[in-house]
Amino acid sequence: MTGPATTVAAPPEESPGGRSARSLVDLVFRARELSLVIALALLIAVTGAVNPNFLSGQGIEDILLNTAILALLAVGQSVVVITRNLDLSVGSVVGLVAFVTADVLASGWGLVPGVVFGVAIGAACGLLNGLLVSFCRVPALVVTLGTLYVIQGVDHYIAHGRQINAVDLPPALLSLGNGSVLGVPYLPLITLVFMLLIGYYLRSYPSGREFYAIGSSPEAARLAGVPVRRRVLTAYLVSGCLAGLAGVLWLARFGTVIGDSANGWELIVISAVVVGGVAITGGVGSVYGAALGALLLTTIGSALVVLRVNPFWQQAITGALLLLAISVDRVLAMRVARLLRNRSRHG
């Protein structure tokens, strides 16, 4: 006597439809990142042809140094945006951390304790944002806009109109901001390490893929057993830690700090993330694309300076790229959804 036949359904991540959907989406957005590389190459080629000094060793080093901090912030911001949230406080966190770290280092702290203290301040800011958004369920825009102004106020209160100069800081910190290994500055190498680590985690670990699931549909992710609140809290914590580290690197790069360092950078960071292919509606994109977006915006700014174009046009071009990126995201999302519906119907 034989029992009833038993069929075991493949888990969602192993089903042919799931693999097909992921492959299609990954292909579309890899093409998006490739288009950024092509645009960047064309920009460099044209600017270098007009002014050969743009491609000098010093010119390339300046671009890498200027990109490093923005790209680090974009990597942290992209983790938050992937979960369908936003962090408008990163610029103010950089300013606060830069000044407070400079203050404690100038008072005699060692380099390592000062750096750890700066990152811890960023982590505390990220933790506050994450708790309010994930557990108190306050909209991310409201929370981070509020903490932006609170952190700026704290920064101005601590600074009290003071300025800390490079001569007051440890030489080891300044060498971190301006030194290099094999001709490559330390700052972009630090950014590259964190970008690769976070990018690998998001794409290769089940818990990392849960960030994308939350961004695609928070309610579906919750029903599937994803710890939505913990993941959103983690995203803000990552963003805060990287913003704290960016504040330390800002100090190492420029040496002199005042109370409103990095003021307004939050909008530049969000622009880099969206231009880099991370959908503002969540669930799509990568930290690699966000870093490429930061590199593209920085290169555009440097190219305009070399070509002696009015700096106003940098803001205009950044705004145009932002609108273009959002429009492209919308069109691609509609086309991918249509293709997936057709495949599902034929399957």
pLDDT at 6 over 60: no
Domain boundaries, the chain: 33-41+51-329
Angstrom distance (rounded) from CA 79 to CA 237: 10
In the DSSP assignment, the letter for residue 137 is -
The 10s digit of each residue's pLDDT in 262-276 is 888 998 999 899 988
- Token digits of residue 78: 């992209």
Q: How far apart are CA 241 and CA 243, in angstroms?
A: 5
Could you report the per-residue pLDDT of 289-327, keeping only the tens digit for each?
Answer: 999 999 998 998 888 888 887 777 777 877 787 787 777
Give CA 133 to chain center in angstroms. Answer: 19
Residue-wise pLDDT for 205-246, tens only, equals 999 999 999 998 999 999 999 999 999 999 999 999 999 999
What is the architecture of the domain spanning 33-41+51-329? Answer: Orthogonal Bundle (1.10)
User: Would you say 307 and 47 are in contact if contact means Cβ atoms under 8 Å apart?
Assistant: yes
Distance CA 40, CA 299 (A): 8
Query: In which residue are the tokens 């990220």 written?
Result: 126
What is the rounded distance in angstroms from the CA atom of residue 249 to the CA atom of residue 93? 13
CA atoms within 13 A on the CB side of 221: 24
Type and span of the H or E element at 181 = strand 180-181
Q: Which pLDDT does position 1 carry in this prediction?
A: 42
Q: What is the pTM of this model?
A: 0.86
Which of 41, 69, 35 minimizes the C-alpha distance to 55?
41
**16/111: higher pLDDT:** 111
